[in-house]
A and B are shown apart, each in its own frame.
Chain A
Amino acid sequence: ETGVTQTPRHLVMGMTNKKSLKCEQHLGHNAMYWYKQSAKKPLELMFVYSLEERVENNSVPSRFSPECPNSSHLFLHLHTLQPEDSALYLCASSHSTSGIYEQYFGPGTRLTVT
């Protein structure tokens, strides 16, 4: 499946580093999502974008900064992360934010904060 791609697939960063995660969808969808997946919280919604406008921010710390330059691309900028931020970060897209449309997930970025 190549509908939603994510880079990098693996990332190790120190707490003082700045890095960005990239997501691209090739499905012509209008909504994109960032999820955090860890052992404690299997699928934790972080941000939702609809037509490049952020429509949801689930009390995510400011050290995570999303960016959606167009409906096909989504970024998650990371800075001064904590070890507890280590997790799998999943990007997803759907036709719209209406829950009647299924979400297509990317393969994820496995992030380790040292």
Chain B
Amino acid sequence: GQQVMQIPQYQHVQEGEDFTTYCNSSTTLSNIQWYKQRPGGHPVFLIQLVKSGEVKKQKRLTFQFGEAKKNSSLHITATQTTDVGTYFCAGQGAQKLVFGQGTRLTINP
């Protein structure tokens, strides 16, 4: 069945450092979504990528969708304490949206 793997599982950085999480699918995706869950909160939709090779930016966040539409990444430039949380990717395959395991980001101020 369709699987979505996300790495790393955990990442701890100093405030101001960059952060990247990677998402890889076992099958070609029609689109991929990214969500953020703050500690004690619930997942909140960030963005969706649809086109092969697509790159989207939201302030310090850069999202990429691979050319083969099987992988994606989220990069945060110059992290801030407000970036703390777990970032999930979710890939839409042939049948359903499958969530990755998430990357938990902690930041040392």
**Chain A residues engaging chain B, CB cutoff 8 angstroms:** 1, 41-43, 45, 48, 56, 90, 92, 97-100, 102-108
Judged by a CB distance under 8 angstroms, whether B25 is at the interface is no
By secondary structure, the B interface counts as strand
Task: Quote the shortest CB–CB distance from B98 to chain A (angstroms).
Answer: 8
Chain B residues near A (Cβ < 8 Å): 30-31, 33, 41-45, 48, 50, 86, 88, 90-93, 96-97, 99, 101-102
With A and B bound together, what is the CA distance between A66 and B92 in angstroms? 24
Q: Which residues of B contact A56 (CB under 8 A)?
A: 96
Knowing A42-B86, A43-B88, A105-B43 are in contact, say whether A100-B30 is a contact too (CB < 8 A): yes
- CB neighbours (8 Å) of B48 from chain A are 100, 102
Q: Are A99 and B43 in contact (CB under 8 A)?
A: no
User: Chain B residues with Cβ under 8 A from A92's Cβ?
Assistant: 43
A108 to chain B, nearest CB (A): 5
- Assess whether B96 is in contact with A42, with CB atoms less than 8 Å apart: no
Docked complex Cα distance between A48 and B95 (Å): 12
